[in-house]
Structure 1
Amino acid sequence: MTTIKEMGRFCPTDHSGNIINDASLLNINPEFSKVIEETIEHYKTHLKDDLHSIYIRGSIPRGLGIEGVSDLDTIALTNKTPQDMDLGWVEKSEHYLNKKYKCVGGVEFSFYSIDEVLENNDFSIIPFMIKTHSVCVYGEDVRVHLPEYKADTTLGNEHLVNLKRQIDQAKEDLDGNDDKQDIVDCCRWIMKIIVRAGLALVIDKESKYTRDLYPAYTLFAKHYPEKEPEMKQALHYAVNPVENPDEVLAFLEGMGSWMKKEAEKWLDVHNTKKEWNL
């Protein structure tokens, strides 16, 4: 069982309130170097001229990677739309890398066209992640061409407008499921969503943002002390997911239902039209 550590931090901001990207190649611990290098080679070998650039996002490029726990999350920008490319190799490559490198919890490939990222005028999570939480490890870095982002209701909406659908999807996926690994993956996924949604509920009051789970939990607990035990349980499930679907479903019926109601209240104030992207 992984111990919940009081680690992570809120995103730094400049004098205008814009989020500062604190990811850097210099922050990457040496134990992750080989898996990063080989992941880049898999992208280059299979995508060839369709590959524009590669980014690493999340805890590892921010110096917060935990050996054997943190995932290597990657984003590839491509010169074609992913739908027009042969990506049949991805599952095999992920399986190979996950088996070879135990220094990471898992390797994730993802693909987005360069045009999709640069030409989107509404808020979109991938340009946001590239701009504020990622470091370029191959190709031309497009971050200078992306807009600035603040810790505001536009960002909060990203975590709340789809929350009901995500919780309902998790419940559907867990109901009658006997695939232990699938249950664990679903548990980790939905609990991370719930913890980050907890921060989003108070983002208009605090003007702070983080993808890190512990500080997100603490900020939520500051405003909702009566729900602190339930959110701490969500944090525990995110770090130590369980194989029992009934246990997760019971939590989603309780705390999950409460979160859906609170998200609706927030949207009634900040996004009355329930638009996906503000």
Structure 2
Amino acid sequence: MDGAHGLNPDGTIAREGSLDRVAAEFAPVVEAARARIPEAFGPDRLHSAYLYGSVPRGTAVVGVSDLDVQLALHGEVTEADRAAARELEAALDRELPQIDGAGILLSGTGTLLSELERHDLGFFVACLCTPLLGPDLAAELPPYRPTSLLARETNGDLALLLPGWRAQPAGRALGRRVGRRLVRTGFTLVMPRWGGWTSDLDRQAAVFGAYHPERAEQMRLAVDAGRSPSPDPSVLRLLIGDLAPWLAAEYTAVHGAKTPR
């Protein structure tokens, strides 16, 4: 594996994360998720479960990091599934002092394996998720390379998010969501030129800044917002009002718009 650029020897993107990398402090968190997910989603609903983010990458910080989970369900996602996920998120956050929140994404297996999602949700499961329960869908997905197609389909819809962000009141949740999305989008803007993959926010911002030094300081603000949102609303206004529109326009010019869903 190319440790510098996150690639396998053949140039494909290596899978991030592993249960072996989970820090000892977070082992009880993983075991709680392993036990509670089947309780909330029985075998008729649950196909497989995955962890992603800092916990399986071994970079989680006690009391700061959240627990990120992706569930693959049989059939389409229902309102009952969403309600069960919200209840489980609240229970895990309440019962596990190691984490600051839990987030559970829900997708049907048909969607995850579809041609439309091949370079978005499919890539996410195959390369950014760590198997926790059930059959691994990565076995049914292709290898991926750091291409413009991958950039377009993963983050080429930033412009669609801006009206919603502008309409929401400033707050911690919005700041974290905006910050993380802007850093990811900035990184994938330059990913094909850099020729690799990383999900580390600091490294993503550094890679972006090497190609766009005039925006590097703003991207550092986005990293900070993605981790610990500033109480100063002017920071969020700057990110949404200046960095985000520039990034959306640049992204469309370089990679094109994401295929409509």
Instruction: Determine if the TM-score, normalized by the shorter chain, exceeds 0.5.
Output: yes
1:212 aligns with 2:206: no
1:260 aligns with 2:260: no
Contact persistence 1:10–1:210 (CA under 8 A): no
Distance in 2 (alpha carbons) for counterparts of 1:89 and 1:107: 13
Structure 1 position 142, deviation (Å): 2.2
Give unmatched runs, 5+ long, in structure 2.
none
Structure 1 position 212, deviation (Å): 1.4
In structure 1, the residue matched to 2:48 is 53
In structure 2, the residue matched to 1:157 is 152
Distance in 1 (alpha carbons) for counterparts of 2:139 and 2:6: 18
Q: TM-score, with normalisation over the residues of structure 2?
A: 0.88
In structure 2, the residue matched to 1:89 is 84
Paired residue secondary structure (2:41): helix
Distance in 1 (alpha carbons) for counterparts of 2:239 and 2:72: 37
Distance in 1 (alpha carbons) for counterparts of 2:72 and 2:54: 20
Of 114-123 and 215-224, more deviation after overlay is shown by 114-123
Distance in 1 (alpha carbons) for counterparts of 2:193 and 2:119: 22
Contact persistence 2:19–2:56 (CA under 8 A): yes
Of 90-99 and 78-87, more deviation after overlay is shown by 78-87
Paired residues for 1:13-32 under 5 Å:
13-32=7-26
Q: 2:61 aligns with which of 59, 63, 66?
A: 66
Distance in 2 (alpha carbons) for counterparts of 1:246 and 1:205: 32
Aligned-residue RMSD, C-alpha: 2.3
1:223 aligns with 2:211: yes
Contact persistence 2:176–2:229 (CA under 8 A): yes
In structure 2, the residue matched to 1:233 is 221
Q: 1:93 to 1:84 in 2, by over 3 A?
A: closer
Q: 2:106 aligns with which of 100, 103, 111?
A: 111
In structure 2, the residue matched to 1:6 is none
Structure 1 position 10, deviation (Å): 6.0
Structure 1 position 122, deviation (Å): 4.8
Give unmatched runs, 5+ long, in structure 1.
1-8, 178-182
Structure 1 position 215, deviation (Å): 0.7
In structure 1, the residue matched to 2:6 is 12
Q: Percent identity?
A: 22
Q: Which runs of 4+ in 1 moved over 4 A?
A: none
In structure 2, the residue matched to 1:195 is 183
Of 76-85 and 192-201, more deviation after overlay is shown by 76-85
Contact persistence 1:167–1:190 (CA under 8 A): no
Of 55-64 and 29-38, more deviation after overlay is shown by 29-38
Distance in 1 (alpha carbons) for counterparts of 2:68 and 2:4: 19
Structure 1 position 213, deviation (Å): 0.8
**For the pair shown, which has the larger CA radius of gyration, 1 or 2?**
1
Distance in 1 (alpha carbons) for counterparts of 2:24 and 2:64: 15
Contact persistence 1:29–1:60 (CA under 8 A): yes
In structure 2, the residue matched to 1:3 is none
In structure 2, the residue matched to 1:147 is 142
Task: Give the length in aligned residue pairs.
Answer: 258
Q: 1:79 to 1:122 in 2, by over 3 A?
A: closer
